[in-house]
Amino acid sequence: MENNTKNTISYPFLPPGKKIEYVGIDDPYMLHAKEVARKSTDHAMPTGAVITCDGIIIAEASNKAALTNPTLIKLHKKYCIRRMCNIPTGKKYWACPGCASHENHGEYRAVLMALKKLPKEYDELDLYLWGHWWCCEPCWNKMFSIGIKRVFLLEKSEILFNNKEPGNIIGKQLTQ
């Protein structure tokens, strides 16, 4: 299991002083996060989040789509208000009903689940995220609220899960 930190990626949001860490696909928690992503209702960008407490999985959640009606999904792809107004990714989810708010993100939902299962004492909380290459500010804030110190993404996630990068696997995330 390789564990390294990348410092050259320009994330849409990263809290000051924080680093995202990376693991390979052979990491058991990342493999589990990938399986959790299979439960996502967001078929365009399924994500899965797993929270570990002292090395034991205590919570998991996938992201939820804001829209489930196929016609509305098609309209949203063509007429996303945030995209039309050049609102940066991760910002002002409220502006477009077709964009899933942070409350539907896997990280946020996993934290809500972890709150119910946290032991009174623990040393380390970590989050593993499959299917995305960064975390938005509301998700980071929610993670900080329970003491998550480290966030792990899949190696090369900044390419694999970034629709602006050639070589991404969007649309094939769960078949790779």
The 10s digit of each residue's pLDDT in 59-113 is 999 999 988 888 987 888 899 888 899 988 778 878 888 877 899 999 999 999 9
> In the prediction, which pLDDT does 44 show?
85
What domains, with CATH codes, occur in the chain?
3-65+102-160 (3.40.140.10), 67-99 (no CATH)
CA 30, CA 153: separation in Å to the nearest integer?
8
> In the prediction, which pLDDT does 7 show?
56
Token reading at 16: 């000051």
SS3 per-residue string spanning 113-175: HHHHHCCCCCCCEEEEEECCCCCCHHHHHHHHHHCCCEEEEECCHHHHCCCCCCCCCCCCCCC
The 10s digit of each residue's pLDDT in 1-16 is 444 555 589 999 999 9
pTM for the model stands at 0.88
What are the beta bridge partners of residue 129?
49, 153
